Amino acid sequence: MRKVSIFGATGSIGQNTIDLIARDPDAYDVVALTGGANIAQLAVDARRLGADLAVTAYEDRLDELRAALDRSGVEVAAGQAALTEAASRPADWVMSAIVGAAGLAPGLEALEQGATLALANKETLVCAGRLVLETAEAHGARLLPVDSEHSAVFQALVGEEIAAVERIVITASGGAFRDWPLEDLANATVEQASCHPNWNMGQRITIDSASMFNKALEVIETREYFGVSPEQIEVLVHPESMVHALVGFRDGALMAHLGAPDMRHAIGYALHWPDRRDLPVERLDLAQLGQLHFRAPDEARYPALSLARQVMARGGLAGAVFNAAKERALDLFIARKAGFLDMVAIVETVLDRFEGSSGLLDATMTLDNVSETDHLARKWADDAMIKRAG
Ligand code: NAD
Ligand code: MG
């Protein structure tokens, strides 16, 4: 039996992962499931899968979790340290599906144990790409992409040399506002930004898709994971979300990866890698689809993409600043304290302030320094918002 753990088990990716694992219960021994505020879901899944341990990120929810798992034989724990302790328990395969920079510490811990880390949490690579890759290397651990675009690129690269790659094209649906008049974006509401045209995902990544911050993070993730230069990475708007990515080779060949927009494909590929197994995903009927559409991204509509280029050019801890400022700006938008367009303005202000503060972006990339940078970037995001409001 394979020992598996799922971080962020109660979220959209976590639940899709559980869906696959629960179809073949004899194949998996579930070590740890972690979640946040949805204690009921965490308890139901921990019982059903016979997990050794269930952890909520919130210390004040421990009693509730304990009560929900009474007489189940599942051990319970709560808080940040408990999340990292869960990650230190030996597992063969670990799904990293916490949302945000909170996924970094548990992911690093799992890599230190030599686990195969299936990485949905793109923030891990954006905040601390080099540290994460070096940790994996030092401990003989493997990192497998779960983001649909990166899984698609990974699959197109099977049997290929990265040196033969000319360019990597990741697609973007364009999000909720791709066809809105530009002048309406300033007044876009949280409800409107939370509806994705094709994918059913957590609220945060759905809003990030509307602003293209999600694609901006993914461009950086592509650079970190595949080690190509920023100039080799392109974004292509593709409203149907059927082509997930394309890899262009030196001889002009362009290899595309197509599939229905269902994360269980990318999760299942990482779960069974290097094999391919049957997966319960819809099969595309191209004749019935008839046509697919593509267009260049409009930089005026999606300024987050230019910020990603700026971050890659800067290097150092700029990725951690970018992600943290974006997370805080998104908190403010969800709390109705910032407008939709304020988000990009806040992130830009925070990046500029770091750029002007000598040495901060060039600190050594350790978990402590990344965390400190993350905290400061969130604080400066608040400052930037206060200035805008005033
Ligand atoms: P979600 O909001 O549905 O779930 C997030 C999970 O993380 C939940 O289990 C939640 O309890 C937990 N969590 C939240 N804050 C936490 C904290 N501070 N500490 C510990 N746990 C915390 O999110 P999601 O859509 O499943 O996305 C998860 C990750 O996967 C994100 O990094 C996202 O960018 C990435 N991703 C998601 C999709 C998708 O289809 N949903 C696709 C590609 C990549
Ligand atoms: Mg993606």
CATH topology of domain 2-145: Rossmann fold (3.40.50)
Give the number of C-alpha atoms closer than 13 A to the C-alpha of residue 312, restricted to the C-beta side.
23
What residue ranges line ligand 1, CB within 6 angstroms? 8-14, 35-36, 57, 83, 97-100, 102, 120-123, 147, 199, 201-202, 204-205, 263
Which ligand 1 atom lies nearest to the CA of residue 199?
Answer: 40
In the prediction, which pLDDT does 210 show? 96
Write down the pLDDT at residue 273: 98
CATH architecture of 315-389: Orthogonal Bundle (1.10)
Ligand nearest to the CA of 99: 1
Ordered strands of the 233-237 beta sheet: 233-237, 165-172, 243-249, 254-258
Query: In sequence order, which residues have a C-beta less than 8 Å from that of residue 77 and are 6 or more positions away?
Result: 53, 54, 55, 62, 85, 86
In the chain, CATH 1.10.1740.10 covers: 315-389
Residue to substitute in 58, 98, 244, 269 for testing ligand 1 pocket (most ligand atoms within 8 angstroms of CB) = 98
Work out whether the CA dihedral 15, 17, 18, 23 comes out positive or negative: positive
Atom of ligand 1 nearest to the CA of 122: 32
Give me the average pLDDT of each 10-residue run along the chain (390 residues): 98 98 97 98 98 98 98 98 98 98 98 98 98 98 98 98 98 94 96 92 96 98 98 98 98 98 98 98 97 94 97 98 98 98 98 95 98 98 93
Specify the domain boundaries for CATH 3.40.50.720 within the chain: 2-145
Give the pLDDT confidence score for residue 387 in this predicted structure. 92
pTM of the model: 0.98
Which residue among 6, 10, 12 is best mutated to probe the pocket of ligand 1, counting the most ligand atoms within 8 A of its Cβ? 12
